[in-house]
Each structure stands twice: as structure tokens, then as C-alpha cells.
Structure 1
């Protein structure tokens, strides 16, 4: 039986919670010192003691917990979790029947009614990601509910927390049979190599599926493509399959080279006809300008925060300057795919970063495509921060 703690809501936040806002922050409650038992059930009331909502305590980023129900008599137990999972799975049925795409999200945290947990599907394997110690206390109930609802080859997990908010290394296998990795999954007919047993990353960011497909289907043919912060080269593979004349993948991580070669190889693409470079992206920009290189398409998908020996990059502070670097090596009428997964600002502000970069350089542009999260990454309209992905296809004029 989980402990239950009474929490008094700050009057300024009462209306937001009543309307459906799910994140419990330190500022939103009067007695924040009570938010210390990870996994405790929280009973939120106003100053007069009137019930508002129930949730749980789980410290995650800027939050201290998540609201789960506004029904005072509803128990937060395995039955509750099973109902949430069943509803989420029902909404993804079209994905399960699509043989061209065998990797997608089946449960997206607060978007599916239980913040702090995501579940991804990889061709018969399920991967659970726990984002707080509090959420992790529900592990037995979540796995039991999942076992009752789905057939699976295996279940893996990623614990994405510790006292400093960093990933904890441990055996990621949970149930079923261990997979043989790399596991090859399909995405709109393309192949991608996935590792569920190799630290925090799997090898592909599922939220960019629609963007990769658009590059493949509409923008890549006959083009030279620069993929910066390329990770395992997923965008490069999409461009190459879409008929790009040549792709150049640049990432500082040493393992990015072998991972990108692997992604090309499983798609029967000659990786030696493409450039795969392990170097600082900002140094590459300098190199490209010095060599007077121009690309028909430049893909910018940096991490929200990154640090190398010479540079520190923060999306909210530095994206405009990053965009300027890209503009200067993009060919006339070329396209820049500008992307960010930062939840700290919205699309309007992101567009402002792009606009300032072009104005500073005295150049004109048009936005020809705009993407947010794909449909399997369900979001809650009352929680705009949950729709974190922002992607713009920007055409130089």
C-alpha cells in the first residue's frame, strides 16, 4: 500500500489544475516540503480542504509529480494502470497493422494519462522508460498490466533518472526472451538498427519518423545533404534512400561513425560513397566555409544542450547563431531542416530564432513545411510543454 500525502494547492494554480494541467511543480503547492516520498500518492486540495485531484510524487526535471485523476474515489493501482495502457494501445491499432513501420510509441506519458512513463514498440519488443524514482515504484503494476494486454517477444527498460537526473546503467532486460541485437526495424520501408541493451539510446529517435519520411519522399532526390549532429545517421539514410546525390554526416561522438556505417549497410547502401565525419560540427562549419562548400539541404537537429572542448551549445541561447552558420553553407534555393526537441519554448519563439538569423544576414526565406510530434506521441492540450518537437523546413530565397 502506497503512502498518501495531502498537498495544498497554491490558489494561483487551482484553476489550471481544474482545467486539466497535469504537472505538479514546487511553486504550485503550499507545502512543498511534503513532496519528498517518491511514489507516494498525492491528494491535492484547496486551502479549504476541498478535493481537486490525485496523483503521485516523482521528481522529474522541473516537476515534483503528476496528476492522474480528478475522481476522488478512483484508486491508483494496477487496474487503473491497465485501463490507461489499454486505451493507449487501442489508439495505436493502425500502427500495429502497418508492416512498413514496426517501431513506434505506444504510451506517451501524460499524453496517455500517466506522466513519467513512456513505452515504445520495436517489432515485438516493448521498451519502458522510467523518468523518476516515483514512477519506478509502479514498475510491478505496469509490467503486470502490460503482460495481460499484449503478446510480446521481450520487455526492456531504461531508467532515465538518478539523484542528478542522469541515466543509471543496469541490466535493461525485464521479461520474455532476450533480443538479438541489432534488432532491425522498419520505418516507412526503411531499415534501422536498434539496440535495447546498450545504455540510454536505442539508435533512432522515433519522434522524427514523419520528418525522415518527408525528406525521403520529397526533398532528397538529386541533392547534396549535410546532416549535422548526425548521431547514427538516420536522416542521412532517409536522404540516401530518397535519391540524394551525396550525404555528409557530422557528429563529435566517435561511435557515430560505426553506427552510421551500420545503418547504411542494412539498407544495402554503399556507405563509402557518402561522407561520415567524426568532428565538432562548429569546426566543420568553418571547414566548409573555408573550402567554399555549399549543400542543397542542411539538417540541424542539435541536442538541447551540448559541450565540446571549445564550444558550449544551448538551444535557447545559441540556435540563432547555429542557423546563421547553416545559412552560409546552404546553396541558393536550398533547404534547411531546423529542428529542436527543447520543451522550454514554443514554436513561435523557435520561428523567432530562425527569423533573426536571416535578418542578421540580410537574407530572405520561406517556411515550406512544419512538423510537431507524430500521432503516436500523443499530447495533452492542457500541457503544451509536452508537444516539445518543433521542425521547420526553411527554404532560402
Structure 2
């Protein structure tokens, strides 16, 4: 007799809505975490999701699905979803006051205190006890930014430094230049050197733009740290941006796990789950070195902007306006190397960063970093690091 094969019992497919703005890297990474949870379990969800739910929020009033995971940083979504009878898990900012969390709804939060602590400790380690925060206007949809202000003040209170905070304006196409001018004026008013923490990478990019437009040396005079590690913001800046990596994937997995428990009968409403940051992406914008020579400071600022365009030492000299022998002497005294060495090291550092990300070919990286050919980049890697670009990339993946 042939053995009886037991077929697995079919599992009911549940209808779950994900209410996020997928145009934001923060929301996309949370969604990715939800996907990781689903792929690692036998949970069967039929997902409903729009790229930007905010376009038609009222349509959820008649939602008859099995559950919802929603971004509660949006006050309109929070107000609407909080009235629905199906199980809901909220995702959003952490709050200093317990009363700020929605009542009776499980909540998964990014830990703002831990995020600002990581950013502040990074700048302190770089020799920058003086810090400032670039925030956002006080509006209901910016409560998360205001909570990061509270966290920043708490961190600065521990060091005894004054918490300098500038919110700036809401930006649009009509007010952009005025906003950039106001931001530049604020940056120029700050005692230097100073570390600037921006409440997200988009605001950090504004700081870098204002610095580049008005000749503020980054990171010698102003070191910049963002929050989100947004790849789009990284590609839109001449100077690579340091950023705190939020624990968004873990947030998504945790929210999905909580919703699954609620759907299957769990009735407890746990306290908010605070998820710490996943780490720090350290790049040029915050790698501060205390330099005394203004010529070297200006020259390095210029090199960081244009090394990827294949500039030569002569172009740096022309920009600074002094003889090459004099500028080289300043470089040797301050850094122990020449202008040419500095250009090459800047290209090499950028190539290493791009190789670690693994998103581009070696040929494209060589072109983007200002090397005349892939073969030349290969020779520089062998000379400076003792390995080929591909070997370097593999070594980073294995660490």
C-alpha cells in the first residue's frame, strides 16, 4: 500500500492594509521590514497599499479587511484609522510624554532619544562639543521633528553646551531661495567649528547646499549629520553625507508580528515598543579634523566638491589664488601631504564608499570618482591598499 501523504492545511489569506507614503525612504524601509516578516513566516496576507495613501484617506472609512498597519506620524491618518474597528498597529515617532501615544493601539516607535544620542556622540568623538540642530517648522505633521528637538536638548544638557536650534521654513518652489539664504545666514552666525544635526537627510542636504553656495568648509567649519541614510539624498550632494540609520526594518517586522497576534485573538495592548537606530553611516560630511590654516581649509573644501570631476592640483591653486609651492608647503605642514595626494585620497575614499554600497559597477565608480580609467583606479587601489577594487569590495562584504 502506498503511504498516505498528508496535505498541509490551507491557511486563510488575510486582507491587510499598509497606510504609508512610499515616497519617503522611512516609510519604504518599514514596508520592507513587513515584507521580511511575511517571507520568514507562513503568514498569508493579501496586502492593500498605495504609493501615497494621503491622496484618498477617507476611502478607509469603509475598510472591511482584517487589519491595518499605519504611519501615525501623519495626524490625518491617525485620526481616521483610530476610529476603525479592525485591529490596528501604529508606527511612528517616539514621544517624551506617554500621553502623546494613541490610547489603546499597539505602537512601534523609532527611538528619538537613541538616534540623537548616536548623532551627538559621533560629533563629540570628532572633537565637536559645540552642536546645533536644524529642525522643521512647528506643525502637526512635524511632531516627530519637534520630538527630536526635545531629544537634542536632553543630550546637550548632559554636556553643558547650549542647545542651538533653528527650524527654518517650510520649503516650496516660490520660497526656496529665500529659505536657502536664511539658512546660510544662520550657519554663518554660528561659532565655528560646529556640528550640525539635521532632523532628516532632506534637511541635511539643505545644510550642505547652503555651505557649498556660500563657501563654508565642510566638515572643517561645519560638520553635518543627517537621519535616515537616504540613498537619494546621498546622490544629490557633492560631499557624501553622514547619517544615522534608523531601525526601520526592525520596526516593520515588529509591527507585522504585533498585528498577526492581534488578528489571531491577542487582546493585550503592550506599551510602545521603542526601536533603536541600526547604526551610523559615516561619510565625509562629519569627518572633522581641526585645521588651523585657512588656505588648506578652503582647498580641501574645493577638492571635496570637485575631485570626482577629475580636477588637477593647478585648478585648486587657481581657486585659492596663491603659488602652488606655497600651498603645497601649507599642506605638508598641516597634513603631511601634497595637494595632489589630497585629491587622490579624496577620490580613493569616495570609491571605497561606493564599492561598499555595491550598487554600481567598478567602471562606473571609476568614472564617478574622477579616475581617468578603470585601470588607473585599479593601480591606485593596489598601491594604496594592496588589493584590487573587487577584492576590497569582497573583503567588506565578508566583514
- TM-score class, shorter-chain normalisation, is 0.3 to 0.5
TM-score, normalised to structure 2, is 0.36
TM-score (norm 1): 0.36
Greater helix share, structure number: 2
Higher relative contact order (CA 8 A, sep 6+): 2
